[in-house]
Chains A and B, each alone.
Chain A
């Protein structure tokens, strides 16, 4: 696998997987806050 493809893969996966994990973590944080209240 070329280094260009590898960098592109890391960038795209980080953006999509990271974005999904980030927004999901915000939802989980909000939900746990609601439960505590």
Chain B
């Protein structure tokens, strides 16, 4: 029988789980939300870690460990042949994110080199901003739209990441995470120490941790806390299912999941304690700091952080450290996404070398539009970001079909020294099904488009970046392909 590759030891799989989970969302999205809503958000974020993310991660980890296949294969072996298309949807959804996520990694590297060049530049960034206040926005627009350096960088990152993984899980993923994760934590500690020592730095902590009890009556903060927890921990992505497929047969599901989930939240807290004090210390007024935090989008990371750091002595160095940390976080997550693709191709019978060639080809083809156009990038972020809730719903469905209590007994508890109460798992998983349905409804009702379904002339508004029509068209397209190819996929991925 063919020997399936495994992580060399337990630390390898724990570091891979942390690498998968800790990404760009921890370093920017979390600090922004924590600063905006404060301690009330943090309490809800912990609550949803316990009721949404951990139960889903436990399920995914144990499915991958049991069946040792990629997402389509493992999911189908649990859910059954008629539901192969759901595993296909989960895979396409995560790949949809991976294609544009490789571009985020390129942006982080671009801004790291930009910050490093500022250290040695005779004219400081501050004086350049005085001459031209729009300098950073102009730079951002050039980097994110049809910029050939960005395009070449994302292609180089995909090729290098894939070649690293070509060395296998032990020599590639495990070795990379041994360097990336500890370095990331050290970099975050450095930024936090510098930021907390700034004048007004402690004000950031006040905003981060003070609890405004009125916030609990605002539904948006509940949704933001849930989505932040789900997306940051990687619950519902199928990534932990891929990573655990390389675990030993006796791997402890529960303990490893808890270390990964709490480690991810610890990284978020460290990022918050680094960024928020810096925002408040740098802003001219308290109101300006809050306005920075409340107008968040992907561009903010790249347009605000350099401004903030340009105001202090050694700010260019601090900015470099931040973007290096962001790059490390993004790379460690991207590697897990690439591995998800490789594992599915391996299930089809491809050798690792042939899988790598295909991965590079598909990433370059499907990542290119996001590298070329920020609108395309935003559309994909919107479509597949919300699509993760559908992926989570499919995993919940598969576990519910098997039976929550039986699943916990036969999948999760089998080799776990530490066991969570069955009632906890059952209540959380049951509750998560209506929660996922509500979330999909809520996200779609929150659409940013003026014409969510039909455009001004009454046509199906599929071209719009943020329209619900675009989401539904792409989701249904993937589901229809999955349904048509259901039996074919089953034969190829499961019943070879």
Residues of A at the B interface (CB closer than 8 Å) are 1-2, 4-6, 8-9, 12-13, 15-17, 19-20, 23-24, 26-27, 30-31
Contact = CB atoms under 8 A, between A and B. Distances in A.
A24 B15 CA distance: 12
Contact of B210 (A5, A17, A20, A24): A5
B205 A23 contact: no
Contact of B266 (A1, A20, A30): A20
Interface in B414-429: 417-418
B202 interface: yes
Closest 5 CB pairs of A and B: A5-B210, A20-B262, A9-B209, A8-B39, A23-B258
A8 B209 contact: yes
Nearest to B269: A16
A12 B42 CA distance: 8
B259 A30 contact: no
Contacts of B14: 27
27 contacts: A1-B206, A4-B211, A5-B39, A5-B205, A5-B209, A6-B209, A8-B209, A8-B210, A8-B211, A9-B205, A12-B42, A12-B46, A13-B269, A16-B46, A16-B262, A19-B262, A20-B262, A23-B255, A23-B259, A23-B418, A26-B255, A27-B10, A27-B14, A27-B259, A30-B255, A30-B417, A31-B10
Contacts of B42: 8, 12
B252 interface: yes
Nearest to B45: A12
B418 A12 contact: no
Nearest to A29: B417
Contacts of A6: 209
Nearest to B43: A12
Interface string B142-155: 00000000000000
Contacts of A1: 202, 205-206
B177 interface: no
Interface string B192-221: 000000000010011011110000000000
Q: Is the interface of B mostly helix, strand, loop or mixed?
A: helix
Contacts of A23: 255, 258-259, 262, 418
B10 A16 contact: no
B203 to A, nearest CB: 8
A9 B262 CA distance: 16
Contacts of B205: 1, 5, 9
Interface in B20-75: 39, 42-43, 46
A36 B265 CA distance: 32
B263 interface: yes
Interface residues of B, number: 26
B94 interface: no
B269 A12 contact: yes
Interface string B269-285: 10000000000000000
A2 B10 contact: no
Given A1-B205, A5-B39, A5-B205, 8 more contacts: A2-B206, A2-B210, A4-B211, A15-B46, A20-B259, A23-B258, A24-B259, A30-B255
A22 to B, nearest CB: 8
B58 to A, nearest CB: 13
Contacts of A26: 255, 417-418
A12 to B, nearest CB: 5
Interface string B231-255: 0000000000000000000001001
Nearest to B262: A20
Interface centre among A6, A13, A15, A27 (most CB of B within 10 A): A27
Contacts of A17: 266, 269
B370 interface: no
A37 to B, nearest CB: 13
A21 to B, nearest CB: 9
B91 interface: no
A30 B252 contact: yes
Contacts of B258: 19, 23
Given A4-B210, A5-B210, A16-B269, A27 B39 contact: no
A20 B46 contact: no
Contacts of B252: 27, 30
A15 to B, nearest CB: 6
A26 to B, nearest CB: 6
A23 B255 CA distance: 6
A27 to B, nearest CB: 6
A17 B268 CA distance: 11
Contacts of B255: 23, 26-27, 30
B256 interface: yes
A16 B47 CA distance: 12
Interface in B132-164: none
Given A23-B258, A27-B10, A16 B265 contact: yes
